[in-house]
Amino acid sequence: MNLFKHSLLAFFIAVSFVGVAQTTTENTPKEVKVDLSGAIGFSGTSFKTEPQLFLNFGGPSLKISKGIYSFGVSMYPSLRYDGIKNNITPILGSGLFVGRKKLQLITPCYYLASNNVWIGTIGLSYKFK
């Protein structure tokens, strides 16, 4: 009986070292691709006779693409130039964009806590990737 147990144990150990490779199927994802993309753009407004210009740097976005067209919502870290006070301040905006290939029409909105107002702008941006 002891010989039978040792033989069975040796058989299971030998079988455990023999591996069977799995074959890939069509449903298995090929590869996960991670890349960086960015955009830079200008938008502006003449809000209550105060001309303001914004230099936008494309931030995180939620995008739907089909072919060369894209649509989505994005955050816009920006530099705000106030034409009246002649100063530059950082500001964060959010808004929609519509794009074709590398060019996008953007509509970021910014909140100015000092004046308690929202500023809506429109502009263009260029997508790098």
Is there a domain that residue 14 lies in?
A: no
CATH for 117: 2.40.160.20
7-42 pLDDT per residue, tens: 666 666 655 565 555 555 566 555 544 455 678 888
Q: Could you tell me the residue range of the domain that residue 96 belongs to?
A: 38-127
At 110, give phi and psi (nearest 5°).
Answer: -125, 145
**Residue 82, in any domain of the structure:** yes
Residue with tokens 């914004």: 54
4 located within any domain? no
- Structural domains of the chain, count: 1
Cross-strand pairs, 55: 42, 79
30-34, 63-67, 120-124: least confident range:
30-34
Alpha carbons within 13 angstroms on the beta-carbon side of residue 24 total 6
What is the H or E stretch that residue 17 is in?
helix 2-17
pLDDT at 78: 92
- Does the pLDDT value for residue 80 go beyond 80? yes
pLDDT score at 98:
92
Q: Between 89 and 21, whose confidence is greater?
A: 89
Is pTM beyond 0.75? Reply is no
39-48, 72-81, 82-91, range with the lowest pLDDT = 39-48
